[in-house]
Chain A
C-alpha cells in the first residue's frame, strides 16, 4: 500500500531563517506531487506541483520554492522566511492523469 510521510509536524522558525520541509511517498512510482497551504476561509491553495524529477510548476509568486530531487521526494524551501509564510502546509500525491490526491499529515509552520 502507498504511504506519504511529511515532516516535521510543527515548526517554529525566526524571520529570515531558511526552511526545508520534506515529503516522501512509498509504495508507488512516478506520482504527481503537490504542495498546498491551507488557511481558514481560503481552502487549499496550490503552491507547487510536479509531474517528474526536476519538473516543478509554481502556481503563485511567493517566497517559497520546491524541488524534486528523487521520484518520490518533494521538498518545500525558503531562503529567508517572512512572517506571512506562517501557515499549515500539506504535501499530497496522486497517480498520473487526474487521480485523487492523498495527503500527508501536514506541517504547522509559525514564523516569529
Chain B
C-alpha cells in the first residue's frame, strides 16, 4: 500500500504569511493527490484536486503543485479563517490514503 508522509504536523504562522505544507508518497502516484481543509467540529472540505486544480469557490490564495512522489500545498497570504487542519490524500488502485494532517495555528 502507498504511504503518505505529510509535514509538518503542526505549524504556527502570522496573518499575511506564506504557508507551505508538503506531502510525500512512498511511490509514484502521478498527480492523483488532493488537499482538504477541516475546521474544528466540521466535515472536511475539498480545496485542491489532481494536485493543482482549485475546487470551485475556493479562494485563489490556496494552491497546489507537484507530481510523482512530492507535492506541495501553499497558502499565499494566511487569513484568520484559514485556521484548520489540512490533509493530503492519494488514490491508487482502489485504495485511498490520507496524510497525517497539518494543524495550522495563528501566531
Do A and B actually bind?
no
